[in-house]
Structure 1
């Protein structure tokens, strides 16, 4: 039943469909009714948390996505392709280019604007890569790509995720309450201890205690999220920290269990809400510089930055590292990097105080990501055909979007094998 939601192709299609539906309904007579629902506030009594429905989605529901992303990051940083500096150095240099060049292009276009509607604050928006879409394009068009190329692309997308998370944590904290933040970190530490207790619960008595520990972990995780939300740090950072501190074996099992929910519900729901913007009825020259900055920086900045810095990384790579990635493959990687989507949409929602500029930035993310998606499909297909013709070794990418790094842990217990 959940197999399509664990594939790399279907979740990307579902995500794109949800965003398209949100954009469509925002520009039909349904707009006012749906806008009223999304703007309605829901408060948690006695907590001080009073958020609109759209903020509950972007701050609350999306935290589950960041939790699962952090579980994947933990795997890659401890047991996967990024477990050592030598393994990570090549994609790290390429990722740096895929961040610096889009920022430079964006600031060259939109960096001079000032005032309440300033576009200059949007420079983090074109730096993100959507890992789910990147894997979806690879699964559909990349059959024949060598394992080394796919591992490089995955590592690149994960490093981009790390940078996006850092931007959210550092740049978009507001009214910081240090006490609540410290209490949130304490809750994260308690979560880490409980996850290790869960891993050690073995035997008949341990099996009886596991449900209790799981319930406690869920409660502590929710408390940590609430404390982060109230502290002024963006609440999704709580999901990141909880995923990074979880014990490895329970983390693998949790990642497997949550994957269909993230792919089938969390990401489409966020994409729908984020894309619910009215298309401005203005001429092109009346659009904000942020629109053009993102529209160009995402597809162009990513492909130029990743390809150029990636080529440099291939020339200076130390001995004993993975084989060099050919320049045409780096171009394909750069095109994939331009599919910003999920994290870029969140950054666009956070970066702009002016609602009009924010909506234009969201439209630019959707359009820029679509341009990058089409370009990456063409380049990845071309490179896959060339590698198949050359007989290069390949690896199937039909596993789940978050299961690329290791074995499927869905049927395993909490204990070590």
Structure 2
């Protein structure tokens, strides 16, 4: 009696399904503009904060607006961090749910790699930061700052430097960032909630449940959904939990697939995709760039001021965590998964590709700056050092990743020039239909 054949070895960073590949490519193209606007907003803030008119920038950032009776008389900078970023996290929540319900992450074998890489890519930077700041007065509160990846920045950079890199790498970056966002949201909710008012948190469940019931019934009316979403945000804000968590919870309630009455999963995009398509321009084009404008304005004080800031272990821990920790954590987790499981690197890829994507994941901005403000307080001296560490670390990681990935892109471009791309009449390239 012959022994059963062993199961086939899983390929790391293998191509996703054709539909998943097309969806990822579409998202990458859409995110590029948002990433460039994010960069423009950050640069405008840095330049303005280092001119003779820096006081005007600070006055604008600290201008308080809103009803004081509801504890919503917040500065413009806080409105950007708590209010506008809730839109960003709503879109992230939609994306998270769609990946785990209908995307490649619904397959545990496919999900294992980005989950392991994201966990490693957050754990190692945190350890490096802690090692830099052991014994520092209150500095350990910022341990989570270098753990986040800014998908808008990373995608914008990848779109500029990548024309022939395998789609598996792009899919990996997107799914890694999705899991990274989920872990970052969890960290904010668990570790950066100073005081918790359970009554307000319980009240927030009422409009949240009403929102969930309406969207489950496929109601799209903004005049019903928007007031419920705003009320949920206000109550979560009053509870002491960071208000951006409300955006994620609202996103999680939206159904991904169509109801059976509407034709089921094969009838086309569901409500989550509709909302994501509707809100992504607001998130990428308004919310995140405005937050970057109010969060990135740090007065460096010339070269000497930059050197002084980088002498703070907080800034050094962030810089080292983003550049060294992210690359070691992500590439190391991938190597461990390949070594101790039946997963192999896809034949068309090199470990240099993995290292390049790991370096690119070291571009931390939006969530890193948000955690920095929560840890040390907006406008504090240490928060300024956080901004320097995040900006310099992200810049170094981006330059290293761009150099390596551009070199790899040239290799794949030569391969593409040597091979003809075949496609059947159905429009699906043969590479997505071959077995194995």
Into which bin does the TM-score normalised by the smaller protein fall? 0.7 to 0.9
- Structure 1 residue aligned with 2:36: 13
Structure 1: runs of 5 or more not aligned: 200-209, 395-417
Which residues of 2 match residues 356-375 of structure 1 at below 5 A? 356-375=381-400
The count of corresponding residues between Structure 1 and Structure 2 is: 376
Alpha-carbon distance between aligned partners in 2 of 1:284 and 1:147, rounded to the nearest angstrom = 40
Alpha-carbon distance between aligned partners in 1 of 2:353 and 2:128, rounded to the nearest angstrom = 23
Is the Cα–Cα contact under 8 Å of residues 31 and 284 in structure 2 kept in the other structure?
Answer: no
Paired residue secondary structure (2:119)? helix
Alpha-carbon distance between aligned partners in 2 of 1:184 and 1:236, rounded to the nearest angstrom = 13
Alignment counterpart, residue 102 of structure 1, candidates 111, 125, 131: 125
Which structure has the greater CA radius of gyration?
A: 2
Alignment counterpart, residue 236 of structure 2, candidates 219, 228, 231: 228
Q: Please say if 1:271 is aligned against 2:292.
A: yes
Alignment counterpart, residue 189 of structure 1, candidates 209, 226, 233: 209
Paired residue secondary structure (2:164)? coil
Alignment counterpart, residue 415 of structure 2, candidates 390, 403, 413: 390
Is the Cα–Cα contact under 8 Å of residues 14 and 264 in structure 1 kept in the other structure?
Answer: yes
Alpha-carbon distance between aligned partners in 2 of 1:360 and 1:97, rounded to the nearest angstrom = 25
- Structure 2 residue aligned with 1:60: 83
* 1:253 Cα deviation from its structure 2 partner: 0.9
- Structure 2 residue aligned with 1:204: none
Is the Cα–Cα contact under 8 Å of residues 5 and 263 in structure 1 kept in the other structure?
Answer: no
Paired residue secondary structure (2:42)? helix
Alpha-carbon distance between aligned partners in 2 of 1:317 and 1:154, rounded to the nearest angstrom = 23
Q: Please say if 1:41 is aligned against 2:64.
A: yes
TM-score normalised by L of structure 2 = 0.81
Structure 1 residues 83-141: Cα deviation after superposition (integer angstroms, max 9, x where no partner)? 13211111222222211111111111123202xxx221111000000111222222221
Which residues of 2 match residues 11-410 of structure 1 at below 5 A? 11-44=34-67, 46-114=69-137, 118-199=138-219, 211=221, 214-248=222-256, 249-280=270-301, 282=305, 284=307, 287-318=311-342, 323=346, 326-353=350-377, 355-391=380-416
Is the Cα–Cα contact under 8 Å of residues 118 and 176 in structure 2 kept in the other structure?
Answer: yes
Greater relative CO, 1 or 2 (CA 8 Å, sep 6+): 1
Alpha-carbon distance between aligned partners in 2 of 1:188 and 1:323, rounded to the nearest angstrom = 43
Alpha-carbon distance between aligned partners in 2 of 1:95 and 1:317, rounded to the nearest angstrom = 18
Structure 1 residues 350-370: Cα deviation after superposition (integer angstroms, max 9, x where no partner)? 111481011110111011111
Alpha-carbon distance between aligned partners in 1 of 2:236 and 2:178, rounded to the nearest angstrom = 24
- Structure 2 residue aligned with 1:402: none
